[in-house]
């Protein structure tokens, strides 16, 4: 390393989505648990003669595979395209993941509503809800809120003063 070259700055994990590291891990853990619950309930749903139950069960197993591919690609090392799918899923914004996960979790419930489909897809749906909450952003602090309220009151008083002068 040349002494004239500046040292490379330490890069911290700050993405543009504004999620903290613990919330990101919470979403990933919820995705894994959602995948497990979808897989178990999907296989259980397929043990029937009703074709709608079988279709919902197959879709739930597909949901589990997609959740595992997107959230924990190291569990799918035997699939060649797993890392490509995971990197593409990581580039999605949180609201896009929320719509995707919630939509995938609702489809089997709409197809055949039963205790197994609702219970199996509940955690996968909750994963989508967590990503949806992440898209809302961080909560504001009380000081900024009070400052905005004070500015709003000042603007309203100015507008009221201008309206009174125009009426005279």
Dump the DSSP string for 41-74. HHHHHHSSS-HHHHHHHHHHHHHHHHHHHHH-GG
**Mutual angle of helices 51-71 and 82-91, in 10-degree steps:** 80
Give mean pLDDT, residues 53-78: 88
Q: Are 42 and 61 in contact (CB under 8 A)?
A: yes
Could you tell me if residue 85 is inside a domain? yes
Could you tell me if residue 143 is inside a domain? no
Could you tell me if residue 63 is inside a domain? yes
Q: What is the domain count for the chain?
A: 1
Give mean pLDDT, residues 104-113: 92
Q: Are 117 and 109 in contact (CB under 8 A)?
A: yes
pTM of the predicted structure, to 2 decimals: 0.71
Could you tell me if residue 149 is inside a domain? no
Could you tell me if residue 130 is inside a domain? yes
CA distance 55 to 145: 50
Question: What confidence tier does 73 reach under pLDDT thresholds 50, 70, 90?
Answer: confident
Residue ranges making up the domain that contains 113: 29-138
Question: What confidence tier does 136 reach under pLDDT thresholds 50, 70, 90?
Answer: confident
Could you tell me if residue 164 is inside a domain? no
């Amino acid at each position: 390393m040349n002494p004239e070259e500046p040292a490379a700055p330490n890069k911290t994990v700050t993405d543009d989505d504004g999620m903290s590291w613990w919330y990101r891990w919470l979403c990933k853990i919820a995705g894994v648990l959602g995948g497990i619950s979808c897989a178990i309930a999907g296989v259980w749903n397929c043990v029937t003669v009703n074709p709608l139950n079988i279709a919902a069960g197959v879709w739930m197993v597909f949901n589990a595979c997609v959740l595992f591919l997107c959230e924990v690609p190291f569990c799918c090392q035997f699939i060649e395209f797993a890392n490509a799918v995971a990197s593409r899923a990581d580039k999605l914004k949180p609201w896009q993941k929320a719509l995707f996960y919630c939509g995938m979790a609702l489809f089997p419930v709409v197809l055949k509503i039963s205790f197994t489909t609702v219970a199996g897809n509940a955690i996968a749906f909750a994963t989508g809800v967590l990503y949806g909450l992440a898209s809302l952003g961080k909560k504001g602090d009380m000081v900024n809120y009070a400052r905005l309220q004070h500015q709003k009151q000042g603007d309203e008083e100015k507008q009221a003063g201008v309206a009174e002068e125009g009426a005279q």
